[in-house]
Amino acid sequence: DTAVSQTPKYLVTQMGNDKSIKCEQNLGHDTMYWYKQDSKKFLKIMFSYNNKELIINETVPNRFSPKSPDKAHLNLHINSLELGDSAVYFCASSSRFDYSDTEAFFGQGTRLTVV
Amino acid sequence: GEDVEQSLFLSVREGDSSVINCTYTDSSSTYLYWYKQEPGAGLQLLTYIFSNMDMKQDQRLTVLLNKKDKHLSLRIADTQTGDSAIYFCAGGYNKLIFGAGTRLAVHP
């Protein structure tokens, strides 16, 4: 009964390719997020969606396009992959977008390696 | 802008207490969080504290919050080798701002 699940767990791809990472949560939460963790373990938010609407876009290149087909899913599509995109991408969800009453639940991460 | 700072490394002997410190700039957080990340794994919520509290104890974990100084700490009593991990403090209003993580190493 995984609360937040991401697929794939590992992704190795060549520069210039387009790839997608999928995320699903079964917690009934309204808000979902994508975070990026770089090689120095620094975590930074990329996007957040509340009820399928984009509410945060943190100066992420437009090669990154999140898509939320419904409240339980938030997918991340990346076009024209670059070496610098190599990182671990975490999906998360919370019941409220303002973190006022609960924690954020994180997926296990997708380790993307661009070669 | 919003910022969360932590020391990067901490080394303790097994059985001793560990104290991981964090300072933050954003006062709008309703809750402040401590997450644990083991090698190759995702983020696991360890504990959190409501911003109006000074202290929260949860088994071996004690969280202290000094709102005036914007200082948060996590104390792990009787530290075990299984506690070796990276510990992140985090807070924020509509997005979590994470510290850089403190790498805790526990040695015999």
- pLDDT tier for residue A58 given thresholds of 50, 70 and 90: confident
CB-CB: which of B30, B33, B42 is closest to A109? B42
Yes or no: say if B71 and B21 are a contact pair by the CB < 8 Å rule.
yes
Cβ-Cβ contacts under 8 Å, A56 against chain B: 94-95
- pLDDT at residue A99 is higher than 80: no
The HSE-up count of residue A24 (CA atoms within 13 Å, CB side) is 5
C-alpha torsion angle, residues B49, B54, B56, B60 (rounded to 10): 120
What is residue B104's predicted lDDT score, i.e. its pLDDT? Answer: 97
Instruction: Name the residue among A45, A101, A103 with its Cβ closest to that of B33.
Output: A103
pLDDT at A37: 94
For residue B20, give the nearest of B54, B46, B1, B50 by alpha carbon. Answer: B46
Q: Among residues of chain B, what percentage have pLDDT more than 90?
A: 63
Q: How far is the CA of A49 from the CAs of A2, A25, A35, A55, in angstroms?
A: 20, 13, 12, 5
Of all residues in chain A, the one with the smallest CA distance to B48 is A103
Phi, psi for residue B81 in degrees, rounded to 5: -60, -30
Tokens of B36: 């644990």
pLDDT value for A112: 97
If we measure between CA atoms, which residue out of A20, A112, A115 comes closest to residue A65?
Answer: A20
Contact B4, B96 (CB under 8 A): no
Q: Which residues in chain A have Cβ-Cβ distances shorter than 8 Å to B94? A: 48, 55-56, 97-99
Q: What is the distance between the alpha carbons of residues B50 and B31, in angstroms, rounded to a whole number?
A: 5
- B53 in contact with chain A, both atoms CB, cutoff 8 A: no
pLDDT reported for residue A14: 97
For range A64-77, the mean pLDDT: 94
Residues 6+ apart with CB under 8 A from A104: A33, A92, A93, A94, B33, B45, B96
CA dihedral A69, A70, A76, A79 (to 10 degrees): 10
The whole-number pLDDT of residue B87 equals 97
With CB atoms and an 8 Å threshold, state whether A56 touches B37: no
Rounded-to-integer distance, Cα B19 and Cα B62, Å: 9
pLDDT at B106 over 90: yes
Is the pLDDT at B1 greater than 70? The verdict is no
User: A101: pLDDT confidence band, cut at 50, 70 and 90?
Assistant: low
Q: Does B98 touch chain A (CB under 8 A)?
A: yes
Q: Which of the four pLDDT bands, split at 50, 70 and 90, describes residue A1?
A: low
